[in-house]
Structure 1
Amino acid sequence: MATTEFKESIDKALHDANLSGALGRFSEAYAVARAKAYEGIDFEALRGRIAAIKGYAAEHMDELAAQFTKSAEARGAKVFRANSPQQVKEYIANLCREKGVKRIVKSKSMATEEIHLNKHLQAQGVQVNETDLGEWIIQLAGQTPSHMVMPAIHMTRDEVADLFSKEVNERLTNDIPKLVKVARKELREKFLQADMGISGGNMAIAETGTIALVTNEGNARLTTSLPRIHVAVVGLEKLIPTWADAAPILVALPKSATSQQLTSYVSLITGPTQNDDGSMKEMHIILMDNRRTEMARDPIFKQALQCIRCASCLNVCPVYRLVGGHVFGKVYTGGIGTILTAWFDELKKSEDIQGLCIQCGNCKQVCPGQIDIPALILEIRRRLAKEQGQGPVQKAIFTVVNNRKLFHAMLRTASKTQGLVGAKDGFIRHLPLFLSGLADFRSLPAIADKPFRDVFDTIRQPALQKKVAFYSGCLIDFAYPEMGEKLVRLFNKAGYNVTFPKEQTCCGAPARYNGAYEVAAGNATDNIKALLSDDVEYVISACPTCTGALKHEFIETYESLGQRDMLPKARRLATKTVDFSTFVKQLVDEGKLSFKEGQTLGSITYHDSCHLKRTLHAEKEPRELLTKAGYEIKEMFECDMCCGMGGSYSLKFPEISKPMLTRKLANIKATGTSTVAMDCPGCVMQIKGGFDKDGTRVTVKHTVELLADQLK
């Protein structure tokens, strides 16, 4: 449960129109520009190379650090390997005292932000000036970066003008070229006066002892060349073996970070150079650990060391663009920032921010380092739950959900009593007291009078030899049994009998996504026993979240807990499990199903459910089926952006779920269609409830409902 202070920070961010406007506009522009930047490039092949290079480097970190040290020192640099942030700070502070350094200029460096270097040096009486425009702005504001690449993205031009006005003691307008000119003039003096320049490093090439800096402003070149001493603070994860290994990173970094084809400056520094008076500069390279070698030894989290710090995960995150980095992060922000915070700071510090991840998978899809950020955040939740235990409310909920008979009995009872809270026309539009917020921005589906498991017994099926098992998931079973009925009739037409194992229960996703892996494993075991008890060719689910659980997460949960005895059965279930649209597309292609010919059913739009597209990779199948059935699909803007449902997410963070839904409803309306299709009952619940509360007459249908009525 998020703390009150954290909830207040979310509320403040959501009501900051400047913040949401700036992040929203950038996110929209980024998606288009990034696609253009990667035109003609095989992104999957490129990021496969980067993942291999960085993965190798993580596994050989000590070896590469030794090679880098030898190579750099052979070219005149001094290399110091620091295990802790304190060692880094003491080394630089001692160097300042020894060399009489009073003024420092710094180029952008997340590693120094990580250890709060500026504060430490300023306490020693040393003047430290950031020279990256964004970093200088937030230094003047007394803030931390809100984005790893664009640290001041959250600030308006008026706010920047006010900051600069105070700095130069002159009233400035918000004219951007003039503000940049002021910054250039102010910072140029600091470059010329500095005794030391401090930089980070995008890469540290072990083969030659070279530091690579990738920038857009040129300040890094002034920082590293003008002062008589250059100190580079580089995390050990920046090590790569060879010059050739730098190439794919240099291709991906500008495209993923800011959607540029090329970055403005790539500086490759190999050893110190001469000062103007002919003496040699001093070059000190600090290879910083701060638990990086420990992370490299962790079989799960070593993957995070493949990060190239492009921040593309932030640029596509639907939550980040609503609340920004000062809420979703500490020093490092967004999804990857949550993971780095848990390691470089401490697990406890990630407790609030990890809950902000809605598990939509956008970040995983665009990460040039091929990092499965959502999976690593789930592992953080698992470790937090293991360390702290489940709260009493969460424990009570999962105890009920994991007891199939009790859970189903409670839902049946609720279906009989929901009239007391005003259930009408299939919706619950108001809830009492502290529950009122759950129905504030969307109507909730009423619990069906008869769950699908009861309706199923009344469905007459022809005598057919081929059989598929239907895994309904909780929503189809207890809220939308009509979807299940359509599915049964559709498969009967294709020559399959449908079985519905009554012992099936919750897929375990709510428990797993909250870190309660033991509960999720119990759900998995119950479902495996139920679904493999009958001899069926396939197990079909019309809920992508449930399909993902059956196909992938049962295995991953058992592996995480070391419960190897159930793995063979989990893998057997995985091979049989298929999502609804993929299986129907297969049946159509095989000629086992066909649609009425010559039909023109009008235009509809389609919403891509997160798990269907990014976990199950079924993006084309539903569109092709709906087109074959006679519908014209008008694509909506951001068709694959999360609707804000996220399972229990919309219950934990309704204040975030609401604007995500509002945006989705607006995009649907903008198509001018009267029907929106989707393959997820959870998305149906969110979007259908949103339109009911909104009062707009848009029909919301699961794909199965639209297809079943158009079969020959």
Structure 2
Amino acid sequence: MSPSDFRRRLDAALADGQLGDALGRFADAYLASRARAYEGLEFEAVRDRVVAVKSRAAAKLDALADRFEEEATRAGAKVLRASDPDAIREHVLRLCRERGVSRVVKSKSMATEELHLNAALSAAGVRVRETDLGEWIVQLAGQRPSHMVMPAIHMSKEQVAEVFSKEVDERLAADIPSLVAVARRELREEFLRADMGITGANVAVAETGSLVLLTNEGNARLVTTLPRIHLAVVGVEKLVERLSDVEPIVRALPRSATGQLLTSYLSMITGPAPGPDGAPKELHVVLMDHRRTEMARDPRFAQALRCIRCASCVNVCPVYRLVGGHVFGGVYTGGIGTILAAWFDGLRASSDIQALCVGCRRCTEVCPARIDIPELVVELRRRIVREDGQPLAQRAALGLVSNRRAFHAALRAASVAQRPFAKGGLIRHLPLFLGGLTEHRALPAIATVPLRDRLAARRRPPEAPPEPPRAPAEAPAPDGRRGERVALFSGCLVDFAYPEIGEAVVKVLERAGLEVVFPEGQTCCGVPARQAGATGVAARNAKDNVVAFEDAGADHVVSACPTCTAALRREMAETLRAEGEPEWAARAESLGRRVRDFSTLVRQLVDEGRLALEPGADLPAVTYHDSCHMKRTLGVRDAPRELLRAAGHAVAEMAESDACCGMGGSYTLKFPEISRPILARKLERIRETGAATVAMDCPGCLLQIRGGLARAGDPVAARHTAELVAARLGDPAGGA
């Protein structure tokens, strides 16, 4: 798909109001049904079992394929193992010619979609009919599935009625039971007249040579038993070792896919079905590789083979609910589709669609196979950059951000240039080609005096010599005594746009008796470069920060930005290791063990009696927005809420408090048309609480949400948790 085709599809999807309504209704209903389906089950325990089963299988695909072939053959099946899609299509066509097959019925199969098998059969004169209702609808409409489980989720009942009316040459009402009755009537004859039935499989069991199919309509049972030939096309990643390995997948798949406890039909097929005369029919199984074993050998991407095709990642994706599946261009949709397309269709097949990932990590949170899709998307970007290089504009921007002195000088110059457009700390309008940046939100004005300059002026007179570095303690003192040194990592936004947040952090920590230092050598955390795939640039950022914070000699490193916290705690080491810098990675890991987010550290200080908060009287209610990195990367949810309550605020929980705000770093610049409606939904959820203030721990979310509220003229205030806590400081137990 060319960049122009990608952009055309994206624009068309966003302009389709019916599409957005349909996907939005499903997404809302899915969250509730999924939660009910997992009641009484420990989701993490289910995940552990799925991961164990699928990981064990991925580590020995060839051996499992050998065993499956042996057992399936013993049971009477004929097994072909093949990798090349052309060879598989030719095998199926040859089988049709040799057996005189002129009519085929199919149940839903993503593997055959991957092969574009329907088109090949039709071109050879074979009549092919999909029998899954959703698949039949999109087949009649001349489309392809937009979802791995619900192929026609993007279509309204009115659109379906129009498609069916053309098929049966009769005007049909948009009544769902009536349309289902039409489908049943039309497809019944197809089942009875078909020479061959084609299916995929949800699981293939090496121990017994069995195929496992889960369906809701019963069509797969007719496809596998009525025609005289059954052909199953199965990706080798569906192999598991033992029959007992099926159970955790069967538990997870319907719950994660559609919020059901169990699908209506679970079929286990071992050997061919009996014919009407008692003789067995034919069963042919194609075990399809198509680069899957190559993926299994890749240490970064092997985890993608754990996918059980439940599409839960798609169901919760804030981008998918706006644009649907067809924008992704390939057979598989969403984040996992981006990864699979890069392997099955070539790396450049994902060059455009990988950018759709906003990085909110909601997919990873719900994936029953615990696949880290956002990290794999970042790895795709790294490999694309490695092969094709960075675009010139991106290279220039990252080069500036990564040059600490040049970047800081540019920001200081910009703080002067912005004066005609800044008012009250915000920029609501920009001229000419920059106008789009303020179309749906105001932007923060660049601080006239950045945080680093404010702290330097407050702490040390110009004539005082710099403090010598001090070796860090291995850990904070066990008795909680005062005297620890904390190094503050500001991050670019706090340093140059929101220095008041940094000052609030310092005020709180110093009130607790901690010494706070600001390492002047600190630079960008590397996330912008890493997210863009420029890991070489991110590695240089990491080295600069390692040196700066090692020299600070701090017991803790604290940040008021969860994105930066995650980078310092884990991602810097990962980047350095990926760039072949094991010694630097070890130093980054050592630093990462001392990194704390603001709310967690301060909550601990309050619990230890080292910091007191004075609840004010009649403070306005506050609602809280969980930033994606705070909740899903750092795993922090309760600490900021507990701090706000300790400061005297009633916390009014908003619906979807952990839904992405649409910021996503530079995402809001690349895809403002997607960022805008995601933000609008977040603002509506904030307003519904009636709270006077929305608090958050992420400066990036603050930029997005505060800017959106200001652009809309909304009176709700957006504040960082540190600012609200700093306003309610009292004396710690025993005096300060």
Q: TM-score range by the shorter chain?
A: over 0.9
Tell me what 1:424 maps to. Answer: 423
Cα separation, 2, equivalents of 1:139 and 1:16: 21
In the TM superposition, residue 419 of structure 1 has moved relative to its aligned partner by: 1.8
- Can you list the C-alpha shifts for 1:454-478, whole angstroms capped at 9, x where unaligned? 11123359x9842100000000100
Matched, 1:174 2:174: yes
Tell me what 1:441 maps to. Answer: 440
Tell me what 1:14 maps to. Answer: 14
Residue pair 1:599, 1:629 contacting (<8 A) in 2 also: no
Matched, 1:267 2:267: yes
Cα separation, 2, equivalents of 1:356 and 1:110: 22
- Can you list the C-alpha shifts for 1:256-312, whole angstroms capped at 9, x where unaligned? 000001110000000012111223200001000000010011111010000000000
Residue pair 1:360, 1:642 contacting (<8 A) in 2 also: yes
In the TM superposition, residue 596 of structure 1 has moved relative to its aligned partner by: 1.2
- 1:533 aligned to 551, 570, 584, which one? 551
Tell me what 2:479 maps to. Answer: none
TM-score by length of 2: 0.95
Matched, 1:147 2:147: yes
SS at match of 1:533: helix
TM-score by length of 1: 0.98
In the TM superposition, residue 329 of structure 1 has moved relative to its aligned partner by: 4.7
- 1:570 aligned to 580, 585, 588, which one? 588
Tell me what 2:245 maps to. Answer: 245
Matched, 1:301 2:301: yes
Cα separation, 2, equivalents of 1:583 and 1:516: 32
Residue pair 2:620, 2:692 contacting (<8 A) in 1 also: no
SS at match of 1:711: coil
Which amino acid is 2:703 matched to?
A: M
Alignment of 1:237-386 (within 5 A): 237-386=237-386
- 1:585 aligned to 603, 616, 624, which one? 603
Alignment of 1:614-693 (within 5 A): 614-693=632-711
- Can you list the C-alpha shifts for 1:155-193, whole angstroms capped at 9, x where unaligned? 011110000000000000000000000000000000000
- Can you list the C-alpha shifts for 1:652-706, whole angstroms capped at 9, x where unaligned? 1111110000110011001111110000001000000001111111100000000
Alignment of 1:90-129 (within 5 A): 90-129=90-129
Residue pair 1:451, 1:481 contacting (<8 A) in 2 also: yes
- Can you list the C-alpha shifts for 1:331-389, whole angstroms capped at 9, x where unaligned? 10001010010011111111111000011000000000111111111100000010100
Residue pair 1:106, 1:198 contacting (<8 A) in 2 also: yes
In the TM superposition, residue 8 of structure 1 has moved relative to its aligned partner by: 2.7
Cα separation, 1, equivalents of 2:324 and 2:272: 39
Unaligned runs of 5+ in 1: none
SS at match of 1:618: coil
SS at match of 2:76: coil
Residue pair 1:71, 1:207 contacting (<8 A) in 2 also: yes
- Can you list the C-alpha shifts for 1:194-248, whole angstroms capped at 9, x where unaligned? 0000000000000100000000000000000000000000000000011110000
Cα separation, 2, equivalents of 1:189 and 1:103: 11
Tell me what 2:450 maps to. Answer: 451
SS at match of 1:685: helix
SS at match of 2:622: strand
Residue pair 1:329, 1:337 contacting (<8 A) in 2 also: no
Cα separation, 2, equivalents of 1:8 and 1:412: 39
Distance 1:90 1:5, change over 3 A: closer
Which amino acid is 1:438 matched to?
A: L
Cα separation, 2, equivalents of 1:582 and 1:458: 28
SS at match of 1:150: coil
CA-based RMSD: 1.4
SS at match of 1:632: coil
Which amino acid is 2:621 matched to?
A: S
Cα separation, 2, equivalents of 1:81 and 1:5: 35
Residue pair 1:329, 1:338 contacting (<8 A) in 2 also: no
Cα separation, 2, equivalents of 1:697 and 1:4: 41
Cα separation, 2, equivalents of 1:590 and 1:160: 63
- 2:511 aligned to 463, 481, 493, which one? 493
Alignment of 1:462-611 (within 5 A): 465-597=483-615, 599-611=617-629
In the TM superposition, residue 7 of structure 1 has moved relative to its aligned partner by: 2.2
Residue pair 2:208, 2:270 contacting (<8 A) in 1 also: yes
Tell me what 1:228 maps to. Answer: 228
Unaligned runs of 5+ in 2: 461-466, 468-481, 731-736
Cα separation, 2, equivalents of 1:326 and 1:155: 12
Distance 1:287 1:2, change over 3 A: closer
Tell me what 2:734 maps to. Answer: none
Matched, 1:704 2:722: yes
Cα separation, 2, equivalents of 1:22 and 1:335: 20
- Can you list the C-alpha shifts for 1:548-603, whole angstroms capped at 9, x where unaligned? 10001101111212211201210111001011111111111111111115744231
Cα separation, 1, equivalents of 2:582 and 2:422: 45
Cα separation, 2, equivalents of 1:523 and 1:4: 34
- Can you list the C-alpha shifts for 1:35-80, whole angstroms capped at 9, x where unaligned? 1110111111111111111011011000000000111110101111
Alignment of 1:54-65 (within 5 A): 54-65=54-65
Cα separation, 1, equivalents of 2:147 and 2:279: 39
Cα separation, 1, equivalents of 2:157 and 2:712: 35
Cα separation, 2, equivalents of 1:600 and 1:188: 69
In the TM superposition, residue 425 of structure 1 has moved relative to its aligned partner by: 1.1
Residue pair 2:615, 2:728 contacting (<8 A) in 1 also: no
Which amino acid is 1:96 matched to?
A: C
Tell me what 2:464 maps to. Answer: none
Cα separation, 1, equivalents of 2:125 and 2:319: 40
SS at match of 2:326: coil
Cα separation, 1, equivalents of 2:7 and 2:429: 23
Cα separation, 1, equivalents of 2:25 and 2:329: 21
Cα separation, 2, equivalents of 1:263 and 1:354: 32
Cα separation, 2, equivalents of 1:665 and 1:672: 12
Alignment of 1:398-413 (within 5 A): 398-413=398-413
In the TM superposition, residue 406 of structure 1 has moved relative to its aligned partner by: 0.3
Cα separation, 2, equivalents of 1:489 and 1:4: 51
In the TM superposition, residue 424 of structure 1 has moved relative to its aligned partner by: 1.1
Stretch of structure 1 that moved more, 230-239 or 322-331: 322-331
In the TM superposition, residue 434 of structure 1 has moved relative to its aligned partner by: 2.2
